[in-house]
Structure 1
């Protein structure tokens, strides 16, 4: 029997890591403090997506009370979360990014809100940068009105779905979706809807999860009067190819989202509009500047994005599906 397996408890915390050890240390230290100074005793599960750099053994020794699982490869955020959830014994699951710093108030208030409002199937909290500046960890579901930046701005201002950039004076708001960097859900409900969709390698998996919750009658809620710190860092910002790759993943995942949640002529028009907007409106001019000003780091990033996007679109056309494994877009990841 696994020594970490224990009777069903209140909360299991699942963290997916890929070479973000320094940030992860801060996250785990905040959880150690919560376990030592409060009555909360969450089960902590860390899934390492095959960082393969020797640090996993060190962390197992540093945090012997936490369960560490090594994935056989970097199969994405959804896959790592699902694997961690299979080991979880908690009534509630809390999915955390490794670059978050958690407070006991945030966890206690999320659990309390979930317990007292059974229709709130997904719960999150406000997020702040280390400077204290509030973030925007929620939004509306993607549609044709949100593909283009200018159209999206006008739509959000006029739509009844418009949410204030920050929480304001409300204690709880009910956006369409909340960020997967801090997301609590009852394990029973998580299993019922099939967990995270692993067709999303990174990005939009949280939007998709919230969409399925809403379609099944659940409510998505975000607490405004408590927060966690989200540091935003790690591998995605290390070099131009990484930045370009992850920015391409955002656009690829948007295509997959439209593929899964729209049908018929609506899906065809959305996919076509997204391709045109991406290739000819948003990314063409930055890519041209990338050719002209190659020595400059930021403009070179746009050149790589443009290359990856064309590669993705040719692969999607050849394979007749929007769901293309990320490793086929660039062999360096």
Structure 2
């Protein structure tokens, strides 16, 4: 492998309004030797926009015949196109990156135990959004809450990182066998970080490094995405927290659905 080179993977699904920005950001970076875009059967102009940005074979487009989900799309890119870079960056299409992001992160990998590193994500106005959290427990799943990590701008070990931006050591990603195909969307980032930590890899956030992540924050979640979130929560809870964790996830489903029903009744009155 060539040292200090990054293959960036971007998974698109109807991401046409974002994809130009992230491709421009990535193509301008010296450390990025390739950008692999996996399109999950978009119905908008995502693939046309990617094709228009293919430069000197630095951009590769993989078109999926169906929406296989986030983790499966990343795994396909790694298996088919990521053989020669020491590092793999998983980057959402709605993320915006500063020119020095990889310069500031790659030196951290002088630590041989570092498997994956993330950054502080924020809206375009600078408001921080979820970037690193503690692992879900039975009680937090039941309460439908998340415990955010307070890094204070430091570089510290964390339980798990938001999958919107992850910079992986290739060897670590391979050792954990990539993202689990059990998750279509949501919780795949929690699961892979947990498996990495169990294998002895460190999971770290560089709190002083930031990236823009706007999509979805503050927007109403669609019913389809809510269902996907609940399915993934149940799968995660069963895998990592046993039957009692699965029961907590089922109870959380009931509470969420009851809350939705009560809000609807209130709106109709």
TM-score, normalised via structure 2 length: 0.89
Q: How is 1:1-333 mapped onto 2 (pairs within 5 angstroms)?
A: 8=2, 10-34=5-29, 39-53=30-44, 55-64=46-55, 65-86=58-79, 87-88=81-82, 89-114=84-109, 116-149=110-143, 163-164=149-150, 167-168=151-152, 170-233=153-216, 243-262=222-241, 267-279=242-254, 281-291=255-265, 293=267
Deviations 1:252-305 (A, max 9, x none): 11111122223xxxx2222222212321x333032133255369xxxxxxxxxx
Counterpart-to-counterpart distance in 1, 2:15 and 2:222: 15
Deviations 1:161-217 (A, max 9, x none): x732xx32x421211000111111111221121111011000000000000001101
Tell me how far apart the structure 1 counterparts of residues 37 and 142 of structure 2 sit (CA, whole Å): 37
Residues of 1 paired with 2:141 and 2:32: CA distance?
43
> How many residues are aligned here?
264
SS of the aligned residue for 1:288 comes to helix
Segments of structure 2 that go 5 or more residues without pairing to the other structure are none
Contact in 2 for aligned 1:105/1:226 (Cα 8 Å): no
Structure with the higher fraction of residues in strand conformation: 2
Where 1:283 maps in the other structure, the secondary structure is helix
Structure 1 range deviating more: 199-208 or 49-58: 49-58
Does the 8 Å contact 2:116/2:166 carry over to 1? yes
Change (3 A) 1:58 1:171: closer
Q: TM-score, normalised by structure 1?
A: 0.73
RMSD: 2.4
SS in structure 1 opposite 2:28? helix
More contact order relative to length (CA 8 Å, sep ≥ 6)? 2
d(CA) in 1 for partners of 2:64, 2:202: 32
| CA distance in structure 1 between the partners assigned to 2:259 and 2:86 by the alignment | 50
- Displacement of 1:99 after TM fit? 0.3
- Structure of larger gyration radius: 1
Name the counterpart of 1:316.
none
Runs of 4+ in 1 over 4 A off after TM superposition: none
